Each structure stands twice: as structure tokens, then as C-alpha cells.
Amino acid sequence: MPELPEVETIRRDLSARILGTKITKLELLSPQSVLGNKKEFSTQILGSSFREIDRIGKLLIFVLQKGKYLLIHLKMTGQLIYQTKQELIPGGHEGGEVKELPNKMTRVVFSFSDDGKLYFNDQRRFGYLKIVDAKELAKIKEKFGPEPLQAEFNASFLKKLLRGRRGNIKALLLNQLHIAGLGNIYADEALFRAGIRPMRLAGSLSEVETKKLAQEIKGVIKSAISHRGTTFSDYRDATGKRGGFGVKLQVYGRSKEKCYRCGRAITKVKLAGRGTHFCPYCQK
């Protein structure tokens, strides 16, 4: 699943390409990918343009006219692919090379007045598009905790969040109600950098460990954004460039490989419903 750094990279790159360009055609190839009234969805999109692209956590927010907003969530396998006559540039879930568009995974197609096209592809159909007004958007935003790079996310916030909690720290970090945008990759990486095992009870962390974890969460997200996210294959981000953070991963995706710190094998377990990577020697 694309996480905060990948979705932020998509937001920035599409903002440089499609803002203010009139949408001349809309194709709902898989109407079930659109939540709510399909006719109303088409009415709000056709003839309009995106004034701004915002984001909260992993949710993209395309600002339309007249107080309406298009929400796009990529979920597990969603992709946004922008195509012109000169280029074809995918962003989102790493899914191999895109050779033909539209294809069997294409769910929605936006055509623009400059002949560009934006494809929403989703192999497993968990992603969605939805039109909301300002009131509904405000309610949705209330369901998200602070993001790692926001000022309110700090050691003091994390200390209060962890106090007395008996669930494991990995599960808590993945809960978007508590922290927005942090996902499986970067939770594993931050916990490794902080020297904390992912199965530790959240309430068991010391004040020193809590401060260290808050710092490492901020650090890993900031670094991942600067490297345009993580790429595991030949897939590109929304400018056609590979995400460069993959080479900096310390534990994620490195099961049975040697830990860069101690030389022992990285372990992978199932935790909080997700494959979880850690070093049993460097993390306590």
C-alpha cells in the first residue's frame, strides 16, 4: 500500500501537471470504484478542473469548484497514471511496467482539454473515488490523528498516546485515528531505528524510548519524502522517477538478510495483520 511519502510524492507531481486543466471526458469503467451517486459524480467532474490537490494521511483530496472535493484513496493496489503524447508516468502501488492503457485494471479515466489522461487503476478494487462537500470533508478529517511532520506530533503527544495502552506498539502506530499516514514500511523502519521491538506493549516504553521513537518517526518520513518514497520494482512515481528510499531500508523486506548493524538475520513475523520485520538483537 502506498504510504504517506508515496502519496505526498503523487500529490506534488500531479499538482505540477493537471491543475486548472478542464476535464472534458469521464469514463467509469468500473462504477463500483466510485462511492455514492454515479450520475452526481459525473456531473461534478465533467467540465470542471482541479484547483488544488491536498492530502491527509494516505487520502488524496482534489479540490473542485463550488465547494466540492474529489477524494481518492489508493488502498492496497491503487495507482494513478498520468499519460500524454510524450510521456506515461505512473504513481502509487508498485505494479510493474504499464504497457497499455486502459487495461483490465483500469477503473476510471479522466480526459483533459490538453489531451492528457489520468487513469485510476486498481487490481484488487479496494481503492475508491468519492465526491464530498466541505461539511463531509471536515468530518472525515476529524477521524485522522496528526501527521508525523506536523508540529503537534512530538514526544509529549506520543507519551500521552502510549500511556497505559496494552496493545503492541506496531498496531498503535498503524492506527490512523492516532497517527495519520504512517504505514507498514515506515513503522518497521522507525521502530528499528529506535531500537524497539514491534511486539512491545505500547505502554511499556520508557520516556527515553518514547522520545527516541518520536524522533525516528519524523526522521524516516522526512527522509522518505525527500527520496520520493520507496520502490521495490521497475515502477516509477508520478514523474517517471524511481522512489529512492528503497536502498535505505534497514529491515523492511529484508527477512533472513543480515542486519546492517549486528550482522544477524532479520526476522519477519505477522503482527497487527501485517508482515513485520525487525532485528531480534538490535531491538529490545
Q: Do residues 110 and 128 make contact, with C-beta atoms less than 8 angstroms apart? A: no
Residues linked to residue 165 through DSSP beta bridges, in sequence order: none
Q: Do residues 91 and 80 make contact, with C-beta atoms less than 8 angstroms apart? A: yes
Task: Please indicate whether residue 2 is annotated as part of the active site.
Answer: yes
The 10 Å CB-count burial string (b at 16+, else e) for 50-69 is beebebbbbbbbbbbeeebb
Q: Do residues 110 and 26 make contact, with C-beta atoms less than 8 angstroms apart? A: yes
Q: Do residues 110 and 48 make contact, with C-beta atoms less than 8 angstroms apart? A: no
- CA within 13 Å, CB half, 220: 28
Please return the burial class of 202, using the count of CB atoms within 10 Å of its CB with bins 0-12, 13-18 and 19+.
buried
Q: Which residues contact 235 (CB under 8 A, 6 or more apart)?
A: 90, 94, 95, 96, 97, 242
Q: Which of 11, 58, 228, 236 is labelled catalytic?
A: 58
Task: Please indicate whether residue 100 is annotated as part of the active site.
Answer: no
Q: Which of 55, 212, 228, 274 is labelled catalytic?
A: 274
Task: Please indicate whether residue 143 is annotated as part of the active site.
Answer: no
In angstroms, the CA 43 to CA 175 distance is 35
Task: Please indicate whether residue 165 is annotated as part of the active site.
Answer: no
- Active site members: 2-3, 58, 274
